[in-house]
Structure 1
Amino acid sequence: MENDRPMKSDRPRKMVEPRLPTPIGSTQGTGMTPLPDDLVAAQCVRMALMYAVGAGLWTMGLVMGSLVLPDANQFGPYAAQIKTVGIATCLLMLGYTRFSPCGHPRKINVGLTFLVVNAFLIALLNSWTEQPLTFRPLSWIAIVIVVYAMIAPSTPRKMLVASMIAATMDPLGVWLAHRRGLPVPSAAMTFAMFYPNYACAIISILPSHVLHRLGRQIRTAREMGSYQLVELLGHGGMGEVWRARHRLLARDAAIKLVRPEVLGAGSQAETRTILRRFEREAQATAALNSPHTINLFDFGMTGEGTFYYVMELLAGRDLESLIREFGPLPAGRVIYLLRQACHSLADAHARGFVHRDIKPANIYVCRMGLEYDFVKVLDFGLVKVRDHREAGQTLLTADHGTTGTPAYMAPEIILGETDVDRRADVYALGCVAYYMLTGQLVFEADTPMKMLVQHVQSQPVPPSQRTELKIPRELDQLVMSCLEKDPKNRPHDAGELFTLACRCRMGDEWETTQAREWWEQHLPEFTGALTIPGSTPDVPAAGMLAIS
């Protein structure tokens, strides 16, 4: 790729001063970083389980006191009513935590009220009847405080305040007993009997501190440059894909984490070499400007040596899952999608790139603004640059690995030819079009090796003979021309294939209106109101980005 050399000028250049750090979020000055959303959600699930256990314990106490050992009930005439209130409180909190649309922070704060209410109910049972004046066993309030502190992800300050109030419920119960005329211990003896409550209240801040320190460590580990990981979308052979958010622009993005061992990094020197090639190819890839090529925002390497790409976040389905769920597509729609994929690859081919891993999983059909069936081609970060100085050397072809998927791999790649060019992508596009038309692979085999052999030696059956859907002759021939064994007999590149696809008349049979109607009927979750920047799209995580 050639770069224009900038013209020399004697005019002094103005340099923009570096931007000062901008405060992030709303927790500045609080001394406490909010926990990651997924960690808070997991803790809320555990809180719901705790409420269920609490309801079970109150129920067991009610049954034991009312039916099994009624003569041993020493908690007064209103014990059944108090225990019933305890059961109702636990069940109410269980339902609220599981089904309320309120956010997790509010649920956590309401849970602190639950702690105090349960402590008050226990205190009433502990002091409703006359009790010893010099000694009492360990109160259940102390146990509830410790258990709650180990599960609820409240801040240490809130946990300490709520726990101290809960610990005070037993002395409050003693005072209420005094007001009712019962003999009670002195204030000093009361504190001596219930000091374990206060000790547990002080100890309760330790689990909270540990949890929030863990949250800070997780947030730090998840920070990728200016982006912060929010939600795991999926994982595959290359690594993981996360939904992320830019910390200043509040823009959602997708971050793909690539494990170093996948790229063949066996030593520090190899890691540095791969990083330089990674940087060079990522910069070249970012220059692609077809609207049907996924946008690359950023890239880099973490302190642990994990490479990452920051890409635009897409709402839709990859072709593989789309066809697996809904079956083969009509010819008009296939041409409509094929033209867009060719547009993306034509831009890459014109710049000297060869993708080498075109497959349905790397072609994303999504909603883009008001358009539906909008194609985005993925994984351009791992293309091969047609540079003879580094022939055959790319992120996935350098010494330790090969690239491509057997079902879509061109014969020349399988045979290990060094001069693999754009026509390998044309062959893969033919395989993808074949899959869209028939819902089947070009060649079926028990093992990848048998499939590779068929790609090299066997002649494919025309797609029109493998489906009941009508496939026009010109489209049938176009697909078969892409699947020629000899690259010389295929369209020269994606640009030529794009031209041929535009000449297919049935491509006009599918347009934006039909695409929108199809999505509204089959994928309504993607047809709602557009979200504003910074809001979380109401889209299933599995449908946000293809994983390869």
Structure 2
Amino acid sequence: MIFRWRRARKPTSFWPGHSRPPDEKSGSFCGNRSTIQGVDAPRGTLAPAVGRIAGREGDAGRSRLSNATLAAELVGRNHVQLSWIAVAALAGLITIPFFAGMLQREVADALDTRLIRVTLITAVLITLAVILIERLGWFKPMALLRVGLLYQLVIAATIAVFENAIPWQPDEYVRGTSAITLWLVSFALLVPAPPLMAAFYCFAGAATGPFVYFLLTHAGYPDVDPSRLTVHYAPCFLIPIVSALVNSRALRMERLAARARELGSYELYEPLNQGGMGEVWRARHRFLKRDAAVKVIRPDVLLLQPGRTADSLRKRFEQEALAIAQLQSPHTVAIHDFGLTEDGGFYYAMELLDGYTLQTLVERFGPQPPGRVVHILTQACASLEEAHQRGMIHRDVKPNNLFLCHLGTSFDFCKLLDFGLVKHILQQDQSQMTASGAIAGTPACLAPEVAAGAPAIDHRVDLYGLGCVAYWLLSGQPVFDEPHPTAMIVAHLQKHPLPPSQRAGIPIPPDLDNLILRLLAKEPDARPGSAAELSGLLRQCRDLPPWTPADAERWWHAHAILPHPHTGTQAHATLHVAESRQ
């Protein structure tokens, strides 16, 4: 009887001092209140939790989502499979030569040779050693994986010696595919490894056949017709491709499972978007069965960034969650949860919306009626006004960050997204959250004072961005249609835009035309003083064709978005990547 010793694993904590997942007593929050370190706090008071997150930079370095570490985890949890395949190999080493010798005289003669005997005894001893190593747990998972891959080569070489030590008869046809092929396939299916590593060792195992043949012929064994040898060993060299594909699939499934395990109460089941810094997933709360969009920043990507850039991106992600958590407007995307993954990454869960960004809306359906544009803009003003009253500047108001959806019984419901560049007016130390020398914002909607690098900006940069959004909605074109981002930034600084009525294919009321040009004024003082004032001015525009709830309902019925999993659904969640986008 073989006894197994297992080391007890320490519980992994999401937060220092806690071993519970974030949905119990962690730094997550749901609804109107949050629980941080077991203390109830009003919604939005996440600063203590974020402080603790920022202190875990060392933990972020231990990423568990790379291929190597995922494979090591798979071996760590399923290391007994290495014993299984070793036991199967041991049974084959003992029984196959015995029965083959009974049935075939050539095999029996070969078994009497010193070469076969030494090879079989050596392979049996190595197999017993591998089983013992696995059972006693002497090696860490990655070291155990390397032992297993080397053992794969040992058995492949043993099979090659057994096959080539039996002389080929001159009138013999083809023996068939080498048994090395079956061994390599079995190993690939049972022992997970990083795809490239698995393919390399599998190729080396396939090469043992021709290599052993080469050694034996130089030692005096008879030559074989090259065509026969090719037919015998060629299939072995296809298995490395199979091994890489099998392991890629296994590790992808493990990565999905790891994500699901690490993100508290949320189960991730469909990727929605991917960027340079992280991923957005469609997720479902395990208990409430409510879909959400989970945005994740990956620590393994952070580690590849220069120190200041990584710190800046980490702060921007934390800041986005904090900013959204403090806002109550129904026209601001709601956040359900926020926490730290086991591997040191961050995530937060937002409401999942089905609809269109304003960018996509115009690209698919063309310029929008002025009445509808005013209806959308007044809702955006409601979100911005609350943020501005709380001392926040969004700094990235653009068509891609405003989302139009059908929410309950409300049609044409607008939500403001992506607070990753939010700036607190009274906290100037947080004003620079970008890499050195970079401009915070999107070139197509960049306020002149931001483009000029003004040291102090205020909420009116968001009103300028909203003017760019209005221009896009009415004309289907950006304010300045320049070929390069740099040229676009210069245009915002120096050029005066044409009225949208001159570029739109639809009539635009003069009051709305002039108000949009006022929003696009170079001087902030020439723009409306607040989002609330802008909302009033929009409602006062004369000669504005009405856009009623019945109009909105008819439009959505005509352009209905099919529910998941059918195509046509577009989730609101976007990734804020380091590169500036037009």
Q: TM-score range, shorter-chain basis?
A: 0.5 to 0.7
User: In 1, distance between residues paired with 2:492 and 2:311?
Assistant: 36
Residues 463-502 of structure 1 aligned to structure 2 (within 5 Å): 463-502=500-539
After superposition, the C-alpha distances for 1:246-305 in whole angstroms (9 at most, x for unaligned) are 2222211101233566899634x9867865675465334311011110001223343444
Q: Work out which of the residue numbers 454, 457, 473 in structure 1 matches 2:494.
A: 457
Q: CA RMSD in A?
A: 4.1
- The verdict on how the C-alpha distance between 1:262 and 1:475 changes in structure 2, with shifts beyond 3 A counting, is farther
Q: How does 1:103-502 map to 2 (within 5 A)?
A: 215-216=253-254, 218-222=256-260, 223-236=262-275, 239-258=278-297, 266-267=306-307, 275=314, 278-279=317-318, 282-390=321-429, 392-393=431-432, 395-396=433-434, 399=436, 401-502=438-539
Take 2:548 and 2:478, find their aligned partners in 1: how far apart are those partners?
A: 26
SS of residue in 1 equivalent to 2:561: helix
TM-score by length of 2: 0.53
Q: Give 1:235 deviation, angstroms.
A: 2.4
Q: Report SS of the residue matched to 1:255.
A: strand
Unaligned runs of 5+ in 2: 1-37, 41-174, 190-244, 577-582
In the alignment, is the contact (CA less than 8 A) between 1:315 and 1:539 conserved in 2?
no
C-alpha distance in structure 2 between counterparts of 1:300 and 1:272, whole Å: 17
Could you tell me the percent identity over the aligned residues?
A: 43
The AA in structure 2 aligned to 1:423 is R
Alpha-carbon offset, residue 474 of structure 1: 0.6
Task: Give 1:357 deviation, angstroms.
Answer: 0.6
**Conserved? CA contact 2:316–2:420, under 8 Å:** no
Answer whether contact 2:320 2:419 (CA < 8 A) is retained.
no
Shift of 1:541: 4.7
In the TM superposition, residue 307 of structure 1 has moved relative to its aligned partner by 3.2
Distance 2:436 2:340 in 1: 21
Kindly tell me: are residues 329 and 424 of structure 1, through their superposed partners in 2, closer, same or farther at Cα, counting changes over 3 Å?
same
C-alpha separation between the residues in 1 aligned to 2:278 and 2:251?
A: 27
* 3-state SS of 1:470 partner: coil
In structure 2, the CA distance between the partners of 1:544 and 1:392, relative to structure 1 (3 Å rule), is closer
How far the C-alpha of 1:413 sits from its partner, in A, is: 0.5
Are the counterparts in 2 of residues 391 and 418 from structure 1 also a CA contact under 8 Å?
A: no
Q: Secondary structure at the match of 1:320?
A: helix
CA drift at 1:389: 4.6
- CA distance in 2 between counterparts of 1:441 and 1:432 reads 8
Structure 1 residue identity aligned to 2:483: D
Contact 2:406–2:556 (8 Å) recurs in 1: no
Which deviations, in whole Å up to 9, do the C-alpha atoms of 1:91-111 show, x marking residues without a partner?
xxxxxxxxxxxxxxxxxxxxx
Shift of 1:408: 0.4
SS of structure 2 residue aligned to 1:524: coil
- Identify the residue that residue 524 of structure 1 maps to in structure 2: 560
C-alpha displacement of 1:495: 1.9
Contact conserved, 1:292 with 1:341, CA < 8 A, in 2? yes
CA distance in 2, matches of 1:409, 1:210: 42
Where does structure 1 lack aligned partners over 5 or more consecutive residues?
Answer: 1-13, 17-136, 152-206, 529-535
User: Counterpart of 2:486 in 1: which secondary structure?
Assistant: helix
* Alignment length (residue pairs): 354
